[in-house]
Amino acid sequence: MLERLQKIIARAGIASRRHAEQLIASGQVRVNGKVVTELGSKADPERDRIEAAGKLVYFPESKTHLVLHKPPQVVSTMADPEGRRTLRHLLYGVPGRVFPVGRLDYAASGLLLLTSDGDLANRILKAAARLPQIYWVKVKGRLQPEECRRVEQQVRARLRPLRSPHAAGPQAANPWYEVTLSEARRDLLRRNLVLLGHPVEKLRRVRLANLELADLPEGRYRYLEAGEVAALERFLARTVKAPPPSKVRRAG
């Protein structure tokens, strides 16, 4: 059956659908030996030989889903032209191809989802603005109550001082806070804290949708259980039906 090339490539786990479109436009996709650059082109994955970025498109019987605790100073990609450490250096023993869903900044750490399921990745990326993400944030200097209120008003997310054995505690000179954000508001939080003279020193994502980092050591990964994947599917279904979030007023 004929399908759009970007959908086939994403379903094979080579890249997200958006990245697949870039591969097509840049001449990195071949169908039966011929380069295809037109978006919207179709092929039959059961009959045609399809190559993307030098990789043969095929469909493994089972999908791979895993959670990685990304350390700081690691790029959230499988390759980096600048020669920095990438996720590939942390995925020894993972069979087949997986790719990250979303990103964490180079200096940030925490939960990162990787999968070979292109359709699932595409659905997560489309819902990214609505998916709750919990972060632990360490700031420079202690936020005063009025500063907390200002940040919360601008970002529309509550800052809760952390009381955890993994954090220094709310009475520390540079305390940690817990905050629930979408990916878009993460950058807004950074900007508001800088404006107040409290730049972010460390940022760690500890939860994405229903997935939790828990006590997974830094630099290690674990496979998702079938129940976790099913719960993520249900979470995405509910998120798609939810009303869109209201616009966030940016700091002046």
From 44, 105, 117, 187, the catalytic residue? 105
How far apart are the C-alpha atoms of 71 and 83, rounded to whole Å? 16
In 3-state terms, what secondary structure has residue 17? helix
- Local structure of 167: helix, strand or coil: coil
- Token output for 221: 């990964």
CB 69 within 8 A of CB 217: yes
d(CA 33, CA 43): 13
Closest C-alpha among 150, 124, 157, 154 to residue 235: 124
105 flagged as catalytic? yes
CB contact at 8 A, 200 and 138: yes
Angle at 199 between CA 197 and CA 200, to 5 degrees: 155
DSSP lists the bridge partners of residue 114 as 66, 100
Question: Any idea what the Cα angle at residue 222 is, between residues 209 and 11, rounded to 5°?
Answer: 65
Give CA–CA dist 169/158, Å, rounded.
17
Q: Please name the helix (run of DSSP H) or strand (run of DSSP E) that holds residue 153, with its range, or none.
A: helix 145-155
Show the CA angle centred on residue 15, arms to residues 206 and 83, nearest 5°.
Answer: 75
Q: How far apart are the first and last CA of the chain?
A: 53
Enzyme catalytic residues? 105
